[in-house]
Chains A and B, each alone.
Chain A
Amino acid sequence: EVQLVESGGDLVQPGGSLRLSCAASGFTFSPYTMHWIRQAPGKGLEGIAYISTTGSTIWYADSVKGRFTISRDNAKNSVYLQMNSLRDEDTAVYYCTRDKSVVAFDYWGQGTLVTVSS
């Protein structure tokens, strides 16, 4: 069974940092581009970063560029999101997703909640 399990969400003060992890299981991880997608409370979906199979291609949304870093470890079947200089507007549920082709996110984790507040 394909599973994506996010962890690392927490309450953090503005300006703080967090590292999210996503552990994948039930499929061969390395051939898939992986994405982080977030959803602020009561709002829509926002793609914020993706990393290609080997990490050679990385993309960030303008809203997080320069503050967030995506990485992956194919040996550990995991993808990460290092979040620095967090802002109130980063408060959201963060989902890890697998892309089976091009923006075809066929599996999603359960999400992890990041709350940025003083």
Chain B
Amino acid sequence: QSALTQPRSVSGSPGQSVTISCTGTSRDFGDYNYVSWYQQHPGKAPKLIINDVSKRSSGVLDRFSGSKSGNTASLTISGLQAEDEADYYCCSYEVTSTSYGFGTGTKVTVL
């Protein structure tokens, strides 16, 4: 499976909203909802924040939301805070090949 495409970086001021896109092919997303999002701070293991396109993981604040339309999945961070500054990765499962892949990663900077 080819890597999913994400913007290299996005930025916003505290309190603003930012949206990270994750673009693939119809094979990557298909009619299934197997898309997840991970947050990774420097030197730390990734943390699951969204699975099944829009389900927030346990303990994740509702400032984080996920969606999907066609061949693009999106993660929106509302009310941006300093601690949201991290790298974010999408991930999707391709049902036909039973394989999966990660996005190229997006660095979120809080100005």
Chain B interface, >50% SS class: strand
Q: A44-B103, A47-B100, A57-B98 are in contact. Are A103 and B51 (CB under 8 A)?
A: yes
Contact with B along A86-114 (1 / 0, CB 8 A): 00000000010000111111101111000
B38 and A45: CB pair below 8 A?
yes
- Stretch from B16-24, B74-82, B86-94 that touches the partner: B86-94
B36 and A103: CB pair below 8 A?
yes
Contacts of A104 in B (CB 8 A): 36, 48, 51-52, 57
Q: Which residue of B lies closest to A109 (CB)?
A: B45
Contact for B38 among A101, A105, A109, CB less than 8 A: A105
Contact for A45 among B35, B48, B99, B102, CB less than 8 A: B102
Contacts of A61 in B (CB 8 A): 99
Contacts of B100 in A (CB 8 A): 47, 103
Chain A interface, >50% SS class: loop
- Smallest Cβ distance from B91 to chain A, in angstroms? 5
For B36, B45, B48, B105, the residue with the greatest tally of chain A CB atoms inside 10 Å of its CB is B45
Q: A59-B98, A108-B45 are in contact. Are A102 and B93 (CB under 8 A)?
A: yes
Q: A104-B52, A108-B46 are in contact. Are A44 and B89 (CB under 8 A)?
A: yes
Contacts of B103 in A (CB 8 A): 44
Q: Size of chain B's interface in residues, with CB distance under 8 A?
A: 26
- Smallest Cβ distance from B97 to chain A, in angstroms? 9
Within 8 A of B (CB), among A43-84: 44-47, 57, 59, 61
B51 and A45: CB pair below 8 A?
no
A45 and B89: CB pair below 8 A?
yes
A105 and B89: CB pair below 8 A?
no
Contacts of A45 in B (CB 8 A): 38, 40, 46, 89, 91, 102, 105
Q: List 14 A-B contacts (CB under 8 A).
A: A45-B38, A45-B89, A45-B102, A95-B46, A102-B93, A103-B36, A103-B51, A103-B92, A103-B93, A104-B51, A105-B38, A105-B48, A109-B45, A110-B45
With A44-B3, A105-B46 already in contact, 5 other A-B pairs whose C-beta atoms are closer than 8 Å: A45-B91, A47-B102, A95-B45, A103-B51, A104-B51
